[in-house]
Chains A and B, each alone.
Chain A
Amino acid sequence: MSEFDQLYREVILDHYKNPRGHGVIEDADASAEGQNPLCGDEVAIYVALGDDGDTIDEVKFSGRGCAISQAATSMLTEMVQGRKASEIATMPRDELLDEVGIPLTPIRLKCALLGLGVLKVALHRAKGTPLPEEWAGLADELDFGSAG
């Protein structure tokens, strides 16, 4: 496989062209939006929690931007579906990056992590807990707001 094929491997292009979990949840239990001012990538994430207030029943995202940012967010929605919000709030970023599975330069790394950063902001905000330190630096660079 050439370097090129590694970067835009089939699964990335597939998620980019056919994003999973694309849409909006009205009355979401947790939501946030963020953008990467450097390149204008935008992602908004909406989460509906189960009766236990912790299980992620449904997660949707909307956004626009580069293939890496949109595909990584699409993959993220598949990864977190049915898992505990408390677990995702502390999920290490490498879990997503391993799934994305492509070499990323520092600039493109921010694209890949935009969706996870937005999801973490949404979940911590909903639970009233502070964003982990690991994410605070990224949050300074990426511009997070509240969706909807």
Chain B
Amino acid sequence: MSPMAVTPQLKLDATKIRADFPIFEQLIHGKPLAYLDSAVTSHKPRQVLDVLRSFYETSYGNVHRGVYTLSERSTEAYEGARQKIASFINAPAPRELIFTRSATEGINLVAYAWGLSNLGPGDVVVVTELEHHSNFVPWQYVAGRTGADFRMIPLDDGGELQLDALDTVAGGGNVKVVATGLVSNSLGTINPIERLAGWAHEQGAIMVVDAAQAAPHRRIDVQALGCDFLAFSSHKMCGPTSVGALWGRGELLEAMEPFNLGGHMIRSVRFEETTWGEIPAKFEAGTQPIAEAVGFGAAVDYLNEVGLEAIEQHEHELAAYALERLGEIPGVTLYGPPADRRAGIVSFNVEGIHPHDVSQVLDWEGIAIRAGHHCCQPLMQKLGVSATNRASFYLYTLQDEIDRLIAGLEKVKKVFA
């Protein structure tokens, strides 16, 4: 089914959706759970949990191995999930969709398998000051290993990329990789991937996109984005942990060296020499997270059913509301772009109160938010803070939870006044 055939349902009933998620049926410190940390991981609907259980109970076996019934059922479910996830991002072909352990592993795969063979002295790897460590550290490391330069697209004061600095960043070097997140996990900034991909290709570079914070929340079309690789993770999008996906252009994946080596990724193994299998098998050595991949497929079904456009709209409304309410509290500093240019992520600090103390007090109110550097130490350095508080939203988030956050912050201020 092409994305064009999906009818946008622009209004989402979060209260109804919430009933699908068993985690909300409990009290935390005697209060209903207000879970405002979906950027770190999302909760799981019954629809996904049921698929996992039923798969283990009726169809589980190793994939691409046996000729018996269970192995066939398992393989069918696993490859079916690959097809669903590939069409979820409008990938031209399912074979270009590789199952990984996480978005992090997907980026490491590109950094090692493509980077080590294609980078060298005089080449430039470009990331941004916004990056999560998962899209920063692998490139810094591989650039260091190969002698390539490692550079950053700077941020402006509003937390958005300074696109007019692109040519300065390139600085006459041979730009070979441009790697950036689609949505910033810290500030919620939505980066202009189409524009960056165009620039990357003008330089002869590959465009690598970390979509961990985007794929759960907005419709992704890798062909429209014009990128070369795109990595994302199941656990942030209602699916199980320990499985992610990497999409790459077929011709690039085919030309690349393997990443993990072992069973299943081979064509033939001889004492003298081993040859690699076709993609995606070439990048899926060893027993894969089979049930998790099947659950990932169920999560994609669930999100499609709700509608990505409706989810994006819902989170946008929540972010705008949260920014407005937080902005009314004296002593609160907000970070990042205005509501119309950000996803459902809001970072802030309360004057004179460390984020750990803020989130600890909020926990007693049943409110879960993130406190820390969000795996973005370079960004924290840029903002001149050691940590921030971050509230992030998803399809099950209620406006009432933001009201509770605001009331909780009043309590925080009272405790530490």
Is residue A3 contacting chain B, with contact meaning CB distance below 8 A?
Answer: yes
Interface residues as binary, B324-368 with A (CB distance below 8 Å gives 1, 0 otherwise): 000000000000000000000000000000111100110010000
B364 lies within 8 A of A67 (CB):
no
CA distance A102 to B373 in the complex (A): 25
Docked-complex contact B364 and A66, CB < 8 angstroms: no
Residues of chain A from 66 to 114 with CB closer than 8 A to chain B in the complex: 66-68, 108, 111
A1 at the interface (CB under 8 A from B): no
B415→A39 contact, CB < 8 A: no
Q: Bound complex: CA of A18 vs CA of B367, how far in Å? A: 28
Q: How far is the CB of B373 from chain A (nearest CB, A)?
A: 7
Q: Total interface residues on A, using CB and 8 Å?
A: 19
A8 to B357, CA, bound (A): 9
0 or 1 for each of B27-49: is its CB under 8 Å from A? (1 = yes): 00100000000000000000000
A residues at B contact (CB < 8 Å): 3-4, 7-8, 13, 16-17, 38-42, 64-68, 108, 111
- What are 11 A-B contacts with C-beta separation under 8 Å? A3-B29, A3-B364, A4-B364, A13-B416, A17-B416, A40-B373, A40-B386, A65-B386, A66-B355, A66-B357, A68-B356
CB of B356 within 8 A of CB of A66, answer yes
- Known contacts A3-B29, A3-B364: does B356 contact A39 (CB below 8 Å)? yes
- Cβ-based interface call for B371 (8 A): yes
Chain A residues with Cβ under 8 A from B29's Cβ? 3-4
B interface, CB within 8 angstroms of A: 29, 354-357, 360-361, 364, 371-373, 380, 385-387, 415-416
Find the B residue at minimum CB distance from A4. Answer: B364
Contacts of A111 in B (CB 8 A): 356
- Residues in chain B near residue A39, CB distance under 8 A: 354-356, 371-373, 386-387
Closest to A38 in B: B372
Contact call A8/B361, Cβ cutoff below 8 A: yes
Query: Whole-angstrom distance between the alpha carbons of A65 and B364 in the complex?
Result: 20
Give Cα A38–Cα B354 distance, bound, in whole angstroms.
13
CA distance A16 to B372 in the complex (A): 20
Shortest beta-carbon distance, B6 to chain A, in Å?
A: 42
Task: Evaluate contact between A67 and B386: CB separation under 8 angstroms.
Answer: no
Q: A7-B364, A17-B416, A39-B355 are in contact. List 20 more A-B contacts (CB 8 A).
A: A3-B29, A8-B360, A8-B415, A13-B415, A13-B416, A39-B354, A39-B372, A40-B380, A40-B386, A40-B387, A41-B386, A42-B386, A64-B354, A64-B386, A65-B356, A66-B354, A66-B355, A66-B356, A66-B357, A67-B357
- Whose C-beta in chain A lies nearest to the C-beta of B29? A3
Please name all residues of chain A whose beta carbon is closer than 8 Å to the beta carbon of B380 when the two chains form the complex.
40
On chain A, the residues within 8 Å of B387 by CB distance are: 39-40
Q: In the complex, what distance in Å separates the CA atom of A3 from the CA atom of B361?
A: 11
Among A17, A38, A67, max chain B CB count under 10 A is at A67
Chain B residues with CB below 8 A from A13, complex form: 415-416
- The residue in chain A whose Cβ has the minimal distance to the Cβ of B360 is A7
Report the nearest B residue to A17, measured CB to CB. Answer: B416
Query: B416 to A67, Cβ gap below 8 A?
Result: yes
In the docked arrangement, what's the CA distance between A42 and B387, Å?
Answer: 12
Q: How far is the CA of A8 from the CA of B296 in the complex (A)?
A: 41
B364 cross-chain contacts in A, Cβ below 8 A: 3-4, 7
> In the bound complex, how far is the Cα of B380 from the Cα of A7, in angstroms?
28
Complex CA distance for A39 and B353, rounded to whole angstroms: 13
CA separation between A4 and B360, bound complex, in Å? 9
Give complex CA distance A111, B356 in Å: 10
- CB-CB < 8 A to B371: which residues of A? 39
